[in-house]
Amino acid sequence: MIRPLASVFEAFYETQAEREEAGDPRLSLEERYETHRGFVMAVRQATMQLIDERMLLPADGEIFVRAAQDSDVLRH
């Protein structure tokens, strides 16, 4: 019998101050992307790479980029 892998999702903190207060060694969203625009650009770049590598269909890539644009990530 094959057992499914258990997964854990732990979101990044939005700011460096929140991250440091929690003792999380991972960079915050703000440290990674600086702004909402930076986040969207990173999603767009990763999406384009996956499309170029034929790992993602262009239509699906558009959905991910649109979701990033519509998200509240770094809109404080």
The 3-class SS string of the chain reads CCCCCCCCCCCCCCCHHHHHHHCCCCCCHHHHHCCHHHHHHHHHHHHHHHHHCCCCCHHHHHHHHHHHHHCCCCCC
Q: Is residue 20 part of a domain?
A: no
Residue numbers of the domain that contains 59: 34-76
Q: Are the CB atoms for 14 and 7 separated by under 8 Å?
A: no
Q: Is residue 22 part of a domain?
A: no
Q: Is residue 72 part of a domain?
A: yes
Give the count of domains, the chain.
Answer: 1
Q: Which pTM does this prediction carry? A: 0.84
- List the pLDDT tens digit at each of the 76 positions of the chain: 677 777 788 999 999 999 999 999 999 999 999 999 999 999 999 999 999 999 999 999 999 999 999 999 999 7
Q: Is residue 63 part of a domain?
A: yes
Q: Is residue 51 part of a domain?
A: yes
Q: Is residue 21 part of a domain?
A: no
Q: Is residue 47 part of a domain?
A: yes
Q: Is residue 18 part of a domain?
A: no
